[in-house]
Each structure stands twice: as C-alpha cells, then as structure tokens.
Amino acid sequence: MITIALSKGRIFEETVPLLAASGITLSEDPETSRKLILATNKPDVRVILVRASDVPTYVQYGAADVGVAGRDLLAEHGGQGLYQPLDLGIAKCRMVVAVREGFDYARAVRQGARVRVATKYIGTAREHFAAKGVHVDLIKLYGSMELAPLVGLADAIVDLVDTGHTLRANKLIAVEDILPVSAHLIVNPASLKLKRETLAPLIEAFGKAARG
Ligand code: AMP
C-alpha cells in the first residue's frame, strides 16, 4: 500500500491533475465525503487528508510514504527525515515581511529598535532576522496574521502573499522578501527503499507532469 498525504485546498486541487497524469484518480470527493482516507482507482494507493503543517510529520514518521507540502512548511519543519526529490511548481507564493502603510520599517531596523513580529513561521522568521542582524520579538499566531499590525499586536508580520489582495485590503505593504514558496514532493526515505518499485515510477510521473 502507498499512502499519499495531502492537505485540503490549493495543494489538493493542484495535486489532483499530477495524480491523474500518474494514472491515479480519486474515488471520492473530499469536499462532500468528509472522509480522511480516500481510496483511488488503484487498490494499492490511498490518499490521506491532513492539516498542511502536519504533512511533513506524517511522511517523516512513515505514516504516509509521500506527501505534498509547501516550502514554507518544510522550512519550518526543518526537513529532517525527508527526501525532497521534486519542486512541483504548484501553490506558488512568497513569504514576506509586511507592515502597516506608514510604518517606517527601514528606520526601525536602522535604529536597532526591537521590532515586534507576529507569525506562524517562528523558526523561519527567527533565522531571517538573525541573518540580517535585526532585533525582533516574535509572537506566535496560528492564522489571520494580517490583523496583528492593525490592532497593535505587532509592528510587522511574516506571512505568505500570492496576489497581494489581502495585504492591500488591510492597508499593509510587503517590505522584505524571505522565501519564494512552492509545493514540493516529499518522500519517506525508508519507504523509497522498501517500495521503490511503486514509488520510483510515481515520482517520475509527478516530475514529468510538473514540468508540463
Ligand atoms: P493573496 O491575497 O492572494 O496575496 O493571499 C494571501 C493570503 O492567502 C494569506 O493569508 C496567505 O496566508 C494565504 N496564501 C497565499 N498563498 C498561499 C499558499 N500557497 N499556501 C497557503 N496559504 C497561502
């Protein structure tokens, strides 16, 4: 049995065509079925639905053989125990530092002031600011980061931006790029050894489909 870990939403939607190109179609629609384990047209392949930030963990521990995870979450997870053979080029966005319009970020940094930064990407943010020598106090959030600078919780946020609509709608501007983000295929190294016969063709088909 091959278990593929995916998260609902953009990653799921953009992975379905890659699965199809590998000859795998889902027997159920996750939006209507509410099941967390989905069967496919192949009796020995199943898909599990987990929270996006949990995908690396399921694959690391071998509960899933392969998964699709954003580079943002892989950076935060650290990537230990994961083979990362492919950038799938899907679910693309950028990780940025953003502040309220009118907040003089450059000045705050120049003056060596401690900048309060709210994010769910604590590890990545800590590394980014440490490398730049910027003093920050990090505040962990789990969602709606854009709200934090508007209500005085933080001076800045580290978050993902795609179209920029959410930032604009909340009068925020990106002041620094941290990481270009896209979803990667991740594989459990032990699975790759033990199930190479099934996994190697799957990885190859994914690579071919991703390259278009
Ligand atoms: P946008 O308004 O298109 O710039 O999208 C920004 C919002 O969507 C933010 O709240 C992000 O956290 C979220 N977002 C954008 N791209 C992604 C992605 N690839 N994966 C997860 N969340 C994303």
Q: Tell me which residue has its CA closest to atom 12 in ligand 1.
A: 160
91 close to ligand 1 (CB < 6 Angstrom): yes
Range of the domain at 115: 93-180
- Percent of the chain at pLDDT > 90 equals 93
- Do 79 and 99 lie in one domain? The reply is no
- Do 20 and 83 lie in one domain? The reply is yes
Which residues on adjacent β-strands are paired with residue 156? Answer: 99, 117
Tell me how far CA of residue 69 lies from CA of 33, 36, 116, 170, 187, in angstroms.
Answer: 23, 17, 28, 27, 11
pLDDT(102) > 90? yes
Torsions phi, psi for 113 (to 5 deg): -65, 150
Domain containing residue 76: CATH number: 3.40.190.10
- Do 83 and 114 lie in one domain? The reply is no
Secondary structure E strands in 126-212: 136-140, 156-161, 172-187
Structure confidence at residue 32 (pLDDT): 84
- Do 144 and 66 lie in one domain? The reply is no
- Do 162 and 189 lie in one domain? The reply is no
- Do 83 and 156 lie in one domain? The reply is no
pLDDT per position as a tens digit, 104-149: 999 999 988 899 999 999 999 999 999 999 999 999 999 999 999 9
- Percent of the chain at pLDDT > 70 equals 100
Q: How far is the CA of 93 from the centre of ligand 1 (A)?
A: 7
Choosing from 10, 76, 93 the residue with most ligand 1 atoms within 8 A of its CB, the one to mutate for a pocket test is: 93
Torsions phi, psi for 151 (to 5 deg): -115, 15
Q: What is the mean pLDDT of residues 179-189?
A: 98
Report how many domains make up the chain.
2
- Do 45 and 112 lie in one domain? The reply is no
pLDDT per position as a tens digit, 16-65: 999 999 999 998 888 888 999 999 999 999 999 999 999 999 999 999 99
Q: How far is the CA of 112 from the centre of ligand 1 (A)?
A: 30
165 close to ligand 1 (CB < 6 Angstrom): yes
- Do 186 and 167 lie in one domain? The reply is no
pLDDT(78) > 90? yes
- Do 123 and 169 lie in one domain? The reply is yes
